[in-house]
Structure 1
Amino acid sequence: MTIKYEWRGDFGNAALNALHADGFGHPVARTDWRARLERHSLGWVCAWEDGSLVGFVNVVWDGGVHAFVLDTVVARRCQGRGVGAALVATAADEARAAQCEWLHVDFEEHLRPFYFDACGFSETTAGLIAL
């Protein structure tokens, strides 16, 4: 099947909540994604297969030159097919088109090969405060 990638794609909250639950292995939430994205995001990328939402990544930003990848998720049935890397590549292209100079990401250790090898991020020194 062909996967279609769409910048700022139109999705339903129920579909994105179901995708998150499937991809991250938690119960289906009732997050109002549309309101959250409209308030905080430069944009997002939706991956579609036969009309179904099978992938998503959110690109938040500082309103200037820094953009940040959040919530990269792919339906379990589509994992391992390059969908996640294509989502991030599309996000990078669109952030670049919006005049961003940097695309940041943080992640859990088990995702290191995905972000560094498949997506091309470079390792940097960063800090974090758990709140």
Structure 2
Amino acid sequence: MAVEVVSRFPVDDEVLSALHARAFGGDAVETPWRVRLAGHALTWVGAFDDGRLVGFVQVCWDGGAHAFLLDTAVDPRWQHRGVGRRLVLAAADDARAAGCRWLHVDFEPDLEEFYLDGCSFRPTRAGLLAL
């Protein structure tokens, strides 16, 4: 697999929105990713196959010890090939290099094996409040 993993790559809103739609289903509604990432992300990481974006993850943070993994997305044609794991590990390396001590992630039950076994997160208790 010749996938290149790149941190803080120049984001094309249309391309990233289309990847997000393919990964999560639904229509490709263009999202202002560049503005969001510039304002809120510690880092973001893309996976590229011959220049084509096939995976993405972002890391937000509190400006201190805690970072938060968001929007892990892999094109369905590239899933189950290690791309997501490489994205998450690269994002963790970026957060560690920035001085973060903790990387948090929330996930649906069907992703437990990916995050706990594949990416070495440990289970914790957490809460969620719908706003």
Q: TM-score band, normalised by the shorter chain? A: over 0.9
For 1:69 and 1:98, locate their aligned partners in 2 and report how far apart those are by CA, in whole Å.
14
Matched-pair contact (CA < 8 Å) for 2:59–2:91: yes
| SS of 2:125 mapped into structure 1 | coil
Partner of 2:64: 64
For 1:14 and 1:130, locate their aligned partners in 2 and report how far apart those are by CA, in whole Å.
28
Q: Structure 2 counterpart of 1:105, which letter?
A: V
Partner of 1:100: 100
For 1:129 and 1:108, locate their aligned partners in 2 and report how far apart those are by CA, in whole Å.
15
1:115 aligns with 2:85: no
- Select between 5-14 and 86-95 the one with higher mean Cα deviation: 5-14
For 2:6 and 2:79, locate their aligned partners in 1 and report how far apart those are by CA, in whole Å.
18
Partner of 1:54: 54
Q: TM-score, normalised by structure 2?
A: 0.98
Q: Percent identity?
A: 56
- Which segments of 5 or more consecutive residues in structure 1 lack a partner in the other structure? none
Matched-pair contact (CA < 8 Å) for 2:70–2:105: yes
CA displacement, residues 34-87 of structure 1 (integer Å, 9 cap, x when unaligned): 000000000100100011000000100001110000000000110010000000
Partner of 1:29: 29
Q: Structure 2 counterpart of 1:88, which letter?
A: V
Q: TM-score, normalised by structure 1?
A: 0.98
| SS of 1:100 mapped into structure 2 | coil
| SS of 1:30 mapped into structure 2 | coil
Q: CA deviation at 1:11?
A: 2.4
Alpha-carbon RMSD: 0.7
Matched-pair contact (CA < 8 Å) for 2:66–2:103: yes
Aligned residues: 131
After superposing on structure 2, the runs of 4+ consecutive aligned residues of structure 1 that deviate more than 2 Å are: none
Matched-pair contact (CA < 8 Å) for 2:11–2:33: no
For 2:11 and 2:65, locate their aligned partners in 1 and report how far apart those are by CA, in whole Å.
27
For 2:55 and 2:30, locate their aligned partners in 1 and report how far apart those are by CA, in whole Å.
18
- Which segments of 5 or more consecutive residues in structure 2 lack a partner in the other structure? none
CA displacement, residues 77-129 of structure 1 (integer Å, 9 cap, x when unaligned): 10010000000000001100000000000011111101001010000111111
